[in-house]
Amino acid sequence: MSSLWKPFSISEGPCKNVGFRGGCSQQQQQQHPPTSIPSSCWGNGNVNQTGTAAVYRSQDLFHSCSSKRTLAAAAVGGRKVTHPGKAILAGGIAGGIEICITFPTEYVKTQLQLDERATNPRYRGIGDCVKLTVQDHGLRGLYRGLSSLLYGSIPKSAVRFGTFEVLSSPMRDANGRLDNTRSLLCGLGAGIAEAVLVVCPMETLKVKFIHDQCSLRPRYRGFFHGVREIIRDQGIRGTYQGLTATVLKQGSNQAIRFYVMNSLRNWYKGDDPRRDMHPVVTAMFGATAGAASVFGNTPLDVIKTRMQGLEAHRYRNTADCAFQILRNEGPQAFYKGTVPRLGRVCLDVAIVFVIYEEVVKLLNNMWKTE
């Protein structure tokens, strides 16, 4: 903090070692007027600009200039940059809570995307998918594959926010603001990192488990049994199917989300980077960012889902998968599952950003960092 106080210390006179916050006593101010006056207080007729015999017409002027210096000092700090350790912990907590709330919408979205029949599809819509799933497997059927996503969502969000903070910290200006272009690049980096380290294997397992449930004889009895069977049959590579599509999807996902969220945050805070955002405002901005990412990259999500399903062997690569979908099902197939994904992602991003911000505030009180 010393670096913030120093520029505003009075450099001469009996109070030279006293910062602007403490200042001189009223009596000292009268006896020893400061020899240098902030330029912001010049030209108002109250101060001699030579600085050698500066005289205040009233004590109110001194308080006015002190207030300006105090505000300037606060602006130097700007938005407090989140420590990467706090970002990782807060992101993990937010991701775990969020996926437990929103998983049924993810299940329905995945089922609709896996339905490859252009005519007479298995499901007539969202409601029919939910109805048939509950009819065949009970309410627990809507949570099939949750374990794989839960085990992955915690580290996924931790990597996402941790990477974003690491990348964005050196890019912020003196006030702690991050411009929109840089937020896009940092979000892209965060999305690629989470795709390679966590999302691809997590999503592959989730899709295989959900797809397995649709078969006449489900093979996987649980998360660990399913992982063991997949690795035994296909090796570690079997958990990294659709890596290219996943990197494209997650990179564009987080680039869009962080760009929109940062743009809305900068607009809301205006010239005051320390202005607090109410959780409701954060949730609204998060939902907007989530919606933008859905409309921006659902085609990539459909391709990724097909590349990770049990029928992935039918596609030679990501481009071939996209070509077959277009040829066999038409361009509209690239937006299968958009509605349930929209509901899930808007809720997802809103919850994650709100919980993340609140957990960071709590950690700032409990965990003191520079």
For the chain, what is the HEC assignment?
A: CHHHHHHHCCCCCCCCCCCCCCCCCHHHHHHCCCCCCCHHHCCCCCCCCCCCCCCCCCHHHHHHHHHHHHHHHHHHHCCCCCCHHHHHHHHHHHHHHHHHHHHHHHHHHHHHHHCCCCCCCCCCCHHHHHHHHHHHHCHHHHHCCHHHHHHHHHHHHHHHHHHHHHHHHHHCCCCCCCCHHHHHHHHHHHHHHHHHHHHHHHHHHHHHHHHHHHCCCCCCCCHHHHHHHHHHHHCHHHHHCCHHHHHHHHHHHHHHHHHHHHHHHHHHHCCCCCCCCCHHHHHHHHHHHHHHHHHHHHHHHHHHHHHHCCCHHHCCCHHHHHHHHHHHHCHHHHHCCHHHHHHHHHHHHHHHHHHHHHHHHHHHHHCCCC
**pLDDT reported for residue 101:** 87
- pLDDT value of position 287: 95
The arithmetic mean of pLDDT across residues 272-290, rounded, is: 92
Residue 348: exposure state from Cβ atoms within 10 A (0-12, 13-18, ≥19) = buried
The predicted-structure confidence for 46-74, as pLDDT tens digits, reads as follows 444 444 434 444 444 444 444 444 333 33
Please tell me the distance from the alpha carbon of residue 45 to that of residue 48, in angstroms, as a whole number: 8
- Is residue 36 scored above 80 in pLDDT? no
pLDDT at 79: 52
What is the pLDDT, as a whole number, of residue 122? Answer: 80
- Angle, helix 338-366 to helix 146-168, in steps of 10 degrees: 60
What pTM, to 2 d.p., does this model score? Answer: 0.64
Residue 249 burial by Cβ neighbours in a 10 Å radius (0-12, 13-18, 19+)? buried
Mean pLDDT of the 340-363 span:
90
Using 50, 70 and 90 to split pLDDT, how confident is the model at 370? low
**CA distance readout (Å), 158 to 86, 91, 122, 193:** 9, 4, 37, 11
Of 72 and 251, the one with more pLDDT: 251
Backbone angles phi and psi of 189, in degrees to 5? -60, -40
Q: How far apart (Å, rounded) are the C-alpha atoms in residues 173 and 328? A: 50
Residue 240 has pLDDT above 80, yes or no: yes
Q: What is the pLDDT of residue 93?
A: 92
Count of residues for the chain? 370
Residue that wins the pLDDT comparison between 115 and 183: 183
143 vs 369, more confident: 143
The rounded distance, in Å, linking the Cα atoms of 103 and 93 is: 16
Tens of pLDDT, residues 191-235: 999 999 998 888 788 778 878 877 778 888 777 888 888 888 888
Three-class DSSP labels, 196-209: HHHHHHHHHHHHHH
Give me the pLDDT at residue 98, please: 87
Is residue 10's pLDDT more than 80?
no
Q: What is the mean pLDDT of the chain?
A: 78
Given this model, what pLDDT does residue 310 score? 76
User: Is the pLDDT at 7 greater than 60, yes or no?
Assistant: no
Domain layout of the chain by residue ranges: 242-336
Of the pLDDT bands very low, low, confident and very high (cuts 50, 70, 90), residue 285 is very high
**Among the ranges given (75-84, 125-134, 248-257, 302-311), the one the predictor scored with the smallest mean pLDDT:** 75-84
Considering Cα of 12, then 18, then 23, then 29, what sign does the dihedral take? negative
Q: CA–CA separation, 238 vs 312, rounded Å?
A: 10
Q: What is the residue type of 221?
A: R
Mean pLDDT of all residues in 144-168: 88
**Average pLDDT of the segment spanning 327-347:** 87
